[in-house]
Amino acid sequence: MKASRAFARATTLSLVWLVAMPDATAQGTDPLSVVKAVFAAQNAGNVSAALALFADDAVLVNTRGAKFTGKESIRKFFQANVDHKVQAEVQNLSPEVKRETVTLTDKYTTDFFERWGIGYVEFKTDVVVREGKIRSQINYITFDGLLKIKRACDTPRGRALVAGTSCDDFLRRAKAQTESVLGA
């Protein structure tokens, strides 16, 4: 009897504690929390959750310089990422947060990279967050990442077209985007 009363009391206290605690899944509105939540939603294939964190007039530029403006355009981009099994591992070794801007180094894998025998490639992401919503997101591949892709393009696996894109074309556009962002 004492054991069942102790169990009931522990259960009641646990329930009170759970109800009193703030929602652990709630994402903050600080820029880094918003960016992490977007990556988590994208990796889970939850396009709606990722899109909810973008402003209506947000702008996203992918690693090849394609610009997506507004939620509908960004939704199509996210859905294509889901279709191509894009996964981002936010390294968070040293995210730079300056007021409303977050710069992260990420490791991305895609079916493109897998088919070309690359594995993952390092990307940089510069994100501007205001009032808990992403206003802009600019992505580019690091120079080390570009070199990794270049090496893959020079192999037989790198000659395969993926979603109508050759490794060389992907590399050319990615290099132009990186140079544009870095002013190289």
Domain residue spans of the chain: 26-182
The fold for domain 26-182 equals: Nuclear Transport Factor 2; Chain: A, (3.10.450)
H-state helical runs in 44-123 = 47-51, 71-83, 111-115
Residue 11 in tokens:
């259960």
CA distance 56 to 152: 38
Its pTM stands at 0.77
Q: Tens digit of pLDDT per residue, the chain (184 long)?
A: 444 443 233 333 232 222 332 332 346 788 989 998 988 888 788 999 999 999 999 999 999 999 999 999 999 988 887 776 666 665 555 688 999 999 988 887 777 788 888 888 888 999 999 999 999 999 999 999 999 999 988 988 888 776 678 889 989 999 999 999 998 7
Residues 6+ positions from 124 with CB-CB distance below 8 Å: 103, 104, 105, 106, 139, 140, 141, 142, 181
Is 119 in a helix, a strand, or coil?
Answer: coil
Please tell me the distance from the alpha carbon of residue 82 to that of residue 125, in angstroms, as a whole number: 18
